[in-house]
Structure 1
Amino acid sequence: MDKEILDILKEMQSDMKSMQSDMKSMKSDMKSMQGDMKSMQGYIKLTQSDIKSIKITQEEHTQILRALEHKTDVISAEQENLKHEVLEIKGEVKSMRKDLSSVEIITANNRSDIAKLKAIG
């Protein structure tokens, strides 16, 4: 019976040594994990900084796009005004052409009347 107890104690001692070895290995793994976590925290901080930079750039681009849209609207409105002005000028030119034709006809009639008056006189 003493031998059985001794064998059991030896087995328990062996199991305890194995557990101690496992615990040392776990401590080492935990230290390694802590280092990895610190490294990840550093990457997270860099990523957050990059995200903030991207957001700022995106806001700047949004402001530029809004300014460009406004400028485009202004240009479109000016273009519409120019179209109306061109149509108005075109109408005035047509009217002037008609007036000029009338002046030419009246001038021709006046010459005819002058020629008649010279012939009578």
Structure 2
Amino acid sequence: MEKEVLDILKSMQQDMQAMKHEMKTMQQGMETMHQDINALKVEQQRANEKLDRIENKIDITYDQVARSAEDVISIKSDLNFVEEVTARNCNDIEKLRGIK
């Protein structure tokens, strides 16, 4: 009977050692996951910062394009005026040639 109890206790002790080992392995796995999660957070923060910089550059580019479009419209208007004046001048020159 005493031997059976000792065998049962040894078996329980072995089971407990195995469980301790498994728990230690799981704890190490959890620590690794925690480190991985922290690394992901850092990378996500860097990605967010890059996106913020890209958005800022897009805003600046949008403003520059809008100003360029305004300049193009102004230049077209000025060019139309020059064309009208040139046409009138050509007509005036023809009239003056006809007078001679």
In 2, distance between residues paired with 1:47 and 1:84?
A: 55
Flag the structure with larger Rg.
Answer: 1
| 1:84 equivalent in structure 2 | 63
The count of residues paired between Structure 1 and Structure 2 equals: 100
5+ long unaligned stretches in structure 2: none
Shift of 1:43: 0.8
Q: Give the % identical residues.
A: 28
Q: Which moved more, 1:24-33 or 1:42-51?
A: 24-33
> Normalization by structure 2: what TM-score?
0.92
5+ long unaligned stretches in structure 1: 1-20
Deviating 4+ runs (over 6 angstroms): none
| 1:7 equivalent in structure 2 | none
| 1:64 equivalent in structure 2 | 43
Match of 2:72 among 93, 98, 113: 93
1:102 is aligned with what amino acid? F
> Normalization by structure 1: what TM-score?
0.77
In 2, distance between residues paired with 1:92 and 1:26?
A: 97
Q: Give the match's secondary structure for 1:118.
A: helix
| 2:94 equivalent in structure 1 | 115
Shift of 1:65: 0.7
